[in-house]
Structure 1
Amino acid sequence: MHSILPFLLAMVAVIVLLNIFATKLKIAYPILLVVAGLLISFIPGLPVLKIDPDLIFFIFLPPLLCEASWSVSLKEMRKWYRMITSFAFLVVFFTALAVAVAANHFIPGFTIALGFLLGGIVSPPDAVSTAAITKFVKIPKATQAILEGESLLNDASSLIIFRFALVAVGTGQFIWQEAATSFLWTVFGGAGIGLLLGWLFVQAHRKLPTDTSSDIALTLIEPYLFYLLAETMHSSGVLAVVAGSVYMSSKRLTFLSSSGRIKAYSVWESFVFILNGVVFLIIGLELPEIVAGIKSSGIPLDEAIGYGVLVTTVLIITRMISSYAALFATMLFRRKSVPHINNKRRRYLMPALLGWTGMRGVVSLAAALAIPVKLNGAMFPQRDLILFITFVAILLTLLLQGLTLPYFIRRSRLFEGIFNEAEEEEARKAMKRGLKQHVYEFLNSRYETEWKGQEVMEKFIHQWEERSKIQDDSWMNDKTKLIFLEMLESQRNYLVALNNDPKINEEIIRQQLYQIDLEEERLRAI
C-alpha cells in the first residue's frame, strides 16, 4: 500500500496539470492523458500495469454513467428519442456487424463470432471524450442532446453484443430463441431494476433523518448498488444505472435540500473528473502489456497495426453511413421529426458532424480486458490481437477525430448564424420577468390572506424590491426569513412548471434553480 500510494498521488497531480495544459491549448484532456500515459509507460523501471477489468466496469463505470444521467436534459431526450435510440442500438449493431464482416474477411483466424466480439468491444463511442472535445465549440442543443442520450445507452447495447458473442465463441453455436429471451431480460430487466431501486432510494432519502453529508454519501454508493444488483440478476447493470439515475435526477428537488444539491454538485464534479483522468491515463499505461502480448502471440507489430487501422477505418465509415442513413430515413418516414434547418448545406453536413464524434474510450478497453485468458482449458483465440486492435482504435479515434472535430466545426461554419444570442438572452430575461411577477403575486396573495395588517409584511415587500441596495442583513428576522424561504420554494415550483414549455432551454432553468439554492443557503446563514 505504501508503495502504490505515491504512484496514485502522482497520477492525480499529472491529471490536474494536464487538464490545465489542455484547457490552455483548447484540447480535450482525454487526448493529452492517453498520450501522457503512453510516454510514461516508456520510462524504464516502472512496473507493468495489470488491470482487473472488473475494476473498470464496477469501480469506474457506474459513477461515470450516474453523473452523465444527472446532467442530461430529459426534455431534449424525449424530443429526439427516435434518433437517440437508433444511434444507441441500431447503429451500434450495424457497426458490430460491419467490423465482424471485415475482420472475418481480412484478418486470418477470425471467425464471425470473434468478429462480433471485436465489434461489440469497439462499437460504442466514448461519452467523456465527446463532451470534453465539444466544450471548446458551441453546438446546438438538439445535437448535444442526441450525443448525450446516445452515450447513456450505447454502452449497454455494445456490452450486450459482447456478452452474446462471448457465449457464441465459447459454445460454437448461437441459439436465437435463447438470445432473444436473454436480450429482453437484459434490456427491460436492467431498466426495471434501476427504476425500482431509484424509487426506493428516493423514499429512503425522504424518510430517513439524513443530513447533507449523509445524502451526498448515499448518492456516491447508489450507482454501485444499481449496477451490482442488476449484474447479479444477469441483466444490464449499465441500463440499471442509467434508468435509476435519470429517475432520481427528475426527483432531485423532492429529496435533496438546497445545501445537498449545491454540495453534491461540487463533490461529484471533482470525483468524476479524477475518475475520468485515471481511466484515460491507464489506457496509455496499458501499452507495454498489450505490445508484449502481441509479440508473444507471434504476430508482427506492423501487421497488427495494419489490422487496427483497418478496423478504425471501418468504425469511422460505418458511423458516417449510419448518420446519413438516419437522416434520410427520418426525412422519408418522420419528416416532422427532422431538425428544422433551412440551410440545405447545413442539413447535409450535420450527419457528418455526428459521424465524426465517434471517439472510443474506457468501455472498449474494459470490455477487451474482460475477455478470459483461457477458454475451455485452451488459450482464448486472438485475445492479444483483439486487445491491440482495441487500443489502436481508441488511440486513432482520439487523436484523429478528437483533434480535428473542433477545427472542422469552426472551418465549415456549420453552426454560423444558428445561435441567436439576442434571442437566447431575451428568453432568459423573459423567464426572469415572469419569475419576478410570480414572486410579486405570491407575496401579495399571502399578504391579503395571512399577513394583512402586519407591518412586517409591508416592510418586507418594500425591502425585497430594494434589497439589492441594502448593505447588511439587519432587516432580516425569523418571520421575514420564513416568508422568504416560502417565496423561494414557490419560485422553484414555477420554474418546474415552466420547464414544460418546449421553447425554454432546460439548461437555463437549471441555472436559475441553482441560483435559488444559493440564495436559500445565504438566507439560512443569516
Structure 2
Amino acid sequence: MHEVELLVLLLAATTALAEVANRLRVPYPVLLVLAGLALSLLPGLPPVVLAPNLVFFVFLPPLLYASAWALSWSAFRSEARPITLLAVGCVLFSLAVVAAVAHYALPGFGWGPAFVLAAIVSPTDAVSAAVATKGLPVSRRVSIVLEGESLVNDATGLIAYRYAVAAVVTGQFALGQAAGQLLLVTAVGIGVGVGVAAAFYGVHRLSRTSAAIDTSLTLLTPYAAYLLAETLHGSGVLAVVAAALFSSQYAGRIATHDRRLQAAAVWETLEFLLNGLVFILIGLQLPGVVKGVAPALRGPLVGYGVLISLAVLGARMLWVYPSAYLPRWLGGSSAKSSEAPTLAEATLLGWGGMRGVLSLAAALALPLALPNGDAFPQRNPMLLLTFVVILVSLLVQGLTLRPLIGWLGLEADGAAEREEQALRVRLATHTLAYLKGPEAAGQAPAEILGRMQSRYQIRLDRLQRRAAGGPEAVPAAALSPFQKLQEVLIHVERGMLEQLRREQRTSEEVLRKLENELDLEEGRLALDKAS
C-alpha cells in the first residue's frame, strides 16, 4: 500500500468513525485511536512513523489557531488566574511528582531521564482537551479553563523539556536560567503572535479581490506566527494562540460576510480532518514504538506506563483542589471577589486534563545519541511509556468524562445561551429604536418602515417572552405574513433553479451563485424564526 492510498484510507476511516462516535455519544478521539491501533496490526500495512516536524509544523498551528479563535480574548481574560495556575503551577508540580515516581519506581531511570519523561507527559494537550469536551454538558467556565490551560501550558512544558534534555546531554542544569528562559519564551511568543496578526490584519484590509485570497491569508497566519516565533526562540504555541485571540477581535473588520462564510466553512472542514488524522496516527505508532523495546521489557513497561499515568493524574488532582480555593482564602479582595468553582467542577477540571499527540511528538523528538556517541538513556522505554500514558488518558479519561459528569450532577450552565438571548434583545431593541427615529424616516417609504417596524417588534416580543420563561418553540402564528411569504418564495426560487439545472442551458457557476444567495436568505429567515 502506497502513502497516497494510506492517506485516503485514513481520511475515510476518520469520517466514518466520527459519525459512529456521534451516534454512540463518545468522544471521537477514542474511536480514532482504537482504529489506528487496529489498522497498525493489519498485515502488509507499511510502517507509519509520526515525524515530530509533521506534528509541530503541519498539524499543530492550524489546530491551535482554530481552538484559540473559538475561545475569545474576553473569555480567556476572565479566567486568567485559574488558567495560569494550571498552565504553570500544575505543570511544574506534576513534573516534580512524576519525576520522583519515575526515578524511584522505574529500574534504570536516573534523575535525568526521569525529568525528561516527566516533562514530556506533564503538560496537557490542546487538541485532546478541545475535542474531548466538545458537546459535553459542562459549564462554560470549566470548558474555558480546560481549553485555555491546554493552549498556554506549552511554554512551561517546552522549557522543562528543553532543559531536562540538555541536562541529560551535558550533565548540567541551571534552574535560574530555566526560569528566566520561561519568561523570555513567553514574551517573545506573545509578541510575535500579536505582531504577525496585526500585519496580516493590514494585508486583509488591503485585499479586496478574492474570497479565496482572504481564506488563504487566514490559513497562513498560524504558520507564519509559529515559524517566526520558533526562529526567534520563542513559544510557537503561544504565538499562534496570541495571533488567534488578536485576530478574532477584528474578524468583523477583516472581510465581507461572504468571505467570512467561506473561510469558516474551510476552517471547519480542515479542523475536522486534521483532528481525525492526528488521533488515528497516534494509534498507528504502536508497531514502531513496541519494536524499539526489547521483548522482555515490553510487558513490565506497560505496567510502569500505567503507574506513570496514575502519577500524572494523581498529581493533577492533588494540585487542582488547593489551587481552586487557597488563593481566595489567602488573597486580597480581587481574589475573593471571583466565584470559586464547586467541588464537582474542580473534580472535572482535574479529570479533564488529557495527554495527546504533543507528548508523543516530544518523545519522538528526543535525540538518538549523546555527544560522546552513547545512546540517549532510556529513549525507547520512554517512547513506550509515553504511548501508554496517552492511551490511558484518551481511552480511560475520554470514555469516563460523560459518566463522570452525570455522576457529579454537573450540567451546562446555559451562560452562553443567556448571553446570546440578551444580545439578541439588545440588538432588536436598538434596531427598533432606529426604525422609529428620525434617521430612518428618509431611508424608505412609510409603508415599508411600518412593515419593518412590525417585523422587529414581533421579534422583540418573542425574545422578551422567552427571557421571561415563555415557551422555547416559536408558534407558527407568531410569524409575520411577510416572513411566511419569504419562506414560500425561497422554495419557489429553489424549484426554478432545479428546473434550469435539468434543462442544462444555464452555466453551473451562475446557478451556484444564486443558490448561495438563497442559502444566505434562508439562513437569515431561520434566525428570525428562532429569535
Q: TM-score, length-normalised on structure 1? A: 0.83
Q: For residues 517 and 228 of structure 1, do their structure 2 counterparts lie closer, same or farther at Cα, with a shift above 3 Å needed? A: farther
Deviation at 1:349, TM superposition (A): 2.7
The residue correspondences of 1:31-430 to structure 2 (distance < 5 A) are 31-295=30-294, 300-334=297-331, 336-339=336-339, 347-376=342-371, 377-415=373-411, 419=413, 428-430=420-422
Q: For residues 425 and 363 of structure 1, do their structure 2 counterparts lie closer, same or farther at Cα, with a shift above 3 Å needed? A: closer
Q: Distance in 1 between matches of 2:264 and 2:135?
A: 22
User: Is the Cα contact below 8 Å between 1:136 and 1:406 reproduced in 2?
Assistant: no
Q: Distance in 2 between matches of 1:13 and 1:356?
A: 31
Bigger shift: residues 388-397 or 262-271? 262-271
Deviation at 1:119, TM superposition (A): 1.2
Q: Distance in 2 between matches of 1:387 and 1:426?
A: 46
Q: Distance in 2 between matches of 1:358 and 1:301?
A: 27
SS in 2 for 1:77: helix
SS in 1 for 2:353: coil
Paired residue for 1:494? none
User: Is the Cα contact below 8 Å between 1:259 and 1:517 reproduced in 2?
Assistant: no
User: Is the Cα contact below 8 Å between 1:73 and 1:145 reproduced in 2?
Assistant: no
Deviation at 1:519, TM superposition (A): 4.3
Q: For residues 434 and 516 of structure 1, do their structure 2 counterparts lie closer, same or farther at Cα, with a shift above 3 Å needed? A: farther
Q: Deviations over 1:395-415 (max 9, x none)?
A: 011111111111011123134
User: Is the Cα contact below 8 Å between 1:34 and 1:284 reproduced in 2?
Assistant: yes
User: Is the Cα contact below 8 Å between 1:258 and 1:517 reproduced in 2?
Assistant: no
User: Is the Cα contact below 8 Å between 1:191 and 1:243 reproduced in 2?
Assistant: yes
Paired residue for 1:469? 481
Paired residue for 1:436? 428
Q: Distance in 2 between matches of 1:316 and 1:202?
A: 41
Deviation at 1:435, TM superposition (A): 1.6
What code does the residue aligned with 2:246 have? Y
User: Is the Cα contact below 8 Å between 1:89 and 1:154 reproduced in 2?
Assistant: yes
User: Is the Cα contact below 8 Å between 1:125 and 1:357 reproduced in 2?
Assistant: no
Q: For residues 240 and 427 of structure 1, do their structure 2 counterparts lie closer, same or farther at Cα, with a shift above 3 Å needed? A: closer
SS in 2 for 1:27: coil
What code does the residue aligned with 2:328 have? M
Q: Distance in 2 between matches of 1:241 and 1:426?
A: 30
Deviation at 1:141, TM superposition (A): 1.2
Q: Deviations over 1:98-152 (max 9, x none)?
A: 1111111112222222222111111122233333333343111111111121121
Q: Distance in 2 between matches of 1:275 and 1:226?
A: 19
User: Is the Cα contact below 8 Å between 2:221 and 2:243 reproduced in 1?
Assistant: no
- Structure 2 unaligned blocks of 5 or more: 456-479, 490-519
Deviation at 1:175, TM superposition (A): 2.4
Deviation at 1:32, TM superposition (A): 0.5
Task: Report the RMSD for the aligned CA atoms in angstroms.
Answer: 2.7
Q: Distance in 2 between matches of 1:105 and 1:78?
A: 40
Q: Distance in 2 between matches of 1:88 and 1:183?
A: 12
Deviation at 1:264, TM superposition (A): 1.5
Deviation at 1:253, TM superposition (A): 0.9
SS in 1 for 2:377: coil
Q: For residues 250 and 516 of structure 1, do their structure 2 counterparts lie closer, same or farther at Cα, with a shift above 3 Å needed? A: farther
- Paired residues, what number? 467
Q: For residues 435 and 410 of structure 1, do their structure 2 counterparts lie closer, same or farther at Cα, with a shift above 3 Å needed? A: same
Paired residue for 1:16? 15
Deviation at 1:248, TM superposition (A): 0.6
User: Is the Cα contact below 8 Å between 2:155 and 2:185 reproduced in 1?
Assistant: no
- Structure 1 unaligned blocks of 5 or more: 342-346, 476-514
Bigger shift: residues 264-273 or 331-340? 331-340
Q: Distance in 1 between matches of 2:309 and 2:291?
A: 21
Q: For residues 518 and 24 of structure 1, do their structure 2 counterparts lie closer, same or farther at Cα, with a shift above 3 Å needed? A: closer
Bigger shift: residues 459-468 or 116-125? 459-468
Q: For residues 58 and 202 of structure 1, do their structure 2 counterparts lie closer, same or farther at Cα, with a shift above 3 Å needed? A: same
User: Is the Cα contact below 8 Å between 2:292 and 2:380 reproduced in 1?
Assistant: yes
Q: TM-score, length-normalised on structure 2? A: 0.82
Q: Distance in 2 between matches of 1:136 and 1:27?
A: 10
Q: Distance in 2 between matches of 1:210 and 1:362?
A: 38
Q: For residues 318 and 518 of structure 1, do their structure 2 counterparts lie closer, same or farther at Cα, with a shift above 3 Å needed? A: same
Among the aligned pairs, what percent are the same residue? 39
User: Is the Cα contact below 8 Å between 2:64 and 2:126 reproduced in 1?
Assistant: no
User: Is the Cα contact below 8 Å between 1:159 and 1:367 reproduced in 2?
Assistant: no
Deviation at 1:301, TM superposition (A): 1.3
Q: Distance in 2 between matches of 1:136 and 1:303?
A: 37
Q: For residues 429 and 290 of structure 1, do their structure 2 counterparts lie closer, same or farther at Cα, with a shift above 3 Å needed? A: closer
Deviation at 1:433, TM superposition (A): 3.1
Paired residue for 2:494? none
Deviation at 1:378, TM superposition (A): 2.3
Q: For residues 5 and 339 of structure 1, do their structure 2 counterparts lie closer, same or farther at Cα, with a shift above 3 Å needed? A: same
Paired residue for 1:480? none
Q: Distance in 1 between matches of 2:254 and 2:521?
A: 16
SS in 2 for 1:375: coil
Deviation at 1:337, TM superposition (A): 4.8
Q: For residues 427 and 149 of structure 1, do their structure 2 counterparts lie closer, same or farther at Cα, with a shift above 3 Å needed? A: closer
Q: Distance in 1 between matches of 2:417 and 2:284?
A: 46
